[in-house]
Amino acid sequence: MTIHHLRRDYRYGSLKREEMPSDPMELFHAWFNELRGLELPEWFEVNAMSLSTHRLDGGTACRIVLLKEIQSDAFLFFTNYLSDKGREIEANPKVALGFYWPILDRQVRIEGHAEKTDDRISEHYFHSRPRSSQLSANISPQSEIIEHESLLAEMVEALDQKLQGADVPRPSHWGGYRVVADKMEFWQGRPSRLHDRFRYTKRIDGMWQLDRLGP
């Protein structure tokens, strides 16, 4: 079978304008909770999302990060502020997020801007992580070239010995971002590629405008 022939029909559901809430966060919560209520294999990380940023040279970059909290107006993830993505967000905070949930034939696309969370939130999440992840966050030069395979393990070992069992401090270069949405699109796969797409756009008065888009 060639890649050309890889296709499936989407039949799970449909979206009707009269059923769309005025606040897209409400629909996001409903979809997310529906997923979390399903019996899913462990490898299916419902909170995995693509994060696109503007490269410093004018290009674009995309990678997966994990959604760790939903606030009333924002989506949170945690990372190294000195990584490529951290430096890119510093220079241009406009970002896009993407979720694909094949079990429900759904996609959600989010556009907006990213801002650092306050330190309290980063501290709280950092200390809820396993000790091994806390050690890695301290030593990993995320996005930098690594010369020797053993380097990271040696650095973790050295830090662990130095701490002698004491709490691992959160490095100041590690923390959260909140992505505040100004556009959110909900896509429901339909048979014969006649998918339902609804896009919410934040208006200047703070209300959301809702439009159906061609699939």
Ligand X SMILES: Cc1cc2nc3c(=O)[nH]c(=O)nc-3n(C[C@H](O)[C@H](O)[C@H](O)COP(=O)(O)O)c2cc1C
> Does 45 interact with ligand X (rule: CB under 6 A)?
yes
Has 193 been annotated as catalytic?
Answer: yes
Query: Which of 28, 77, 125, 198 lies at the binding interface for ligand X (CB under 6 A)?
Result: 77
Q: Which of 79, 117, 138, 188 binds ligand X (CB under 6 A)?
A: 79
Q: Which is nearer to ligand X, 142 or 201 (CB)?
A: 142
Does residue number 35 form part of the binding site for ligand X (CB under 6 A)? no
The answer to whether 215 and 194 are in contact (CB under 8 A) is yes
75 burial (CB, 10 Å; 0-12 / 13-18 / 19+) is: buried
Nearer to ligand X, 14 or 142 (CB): 142
Nearer to ligand X, 22 or 133 (CB): 133
Q: Assess 118 for contact with ligand X (CB under 6 A).
A: no
Binding mask 139-168 for ligand X (x = CB under 6 A): ---xx-------------------------
**Least distance in Å: CB of 96 to ligand X?**
14
Candidates 82-90, 113-121, 155-163, 176-184: pick the segment binding ligand X (CB under 6 A).
Answer: 82-90
- Site membership for ligand X, residue 34 (CB under 6 A): no
The active-site residue out of 193, 197, 199, 203 is: 193
Q: How far apart are CA 126 and CA 67, in angstroms?
A: 14
Q: Does 201 bind ligand X (CB under 6 A)?
A: no
Contact footprint for ligand X (CB under 6 A)? 45, 48, 61, 63-66, 77-80, 83-85, 142-143
Residues labelled as active-site residues? 193
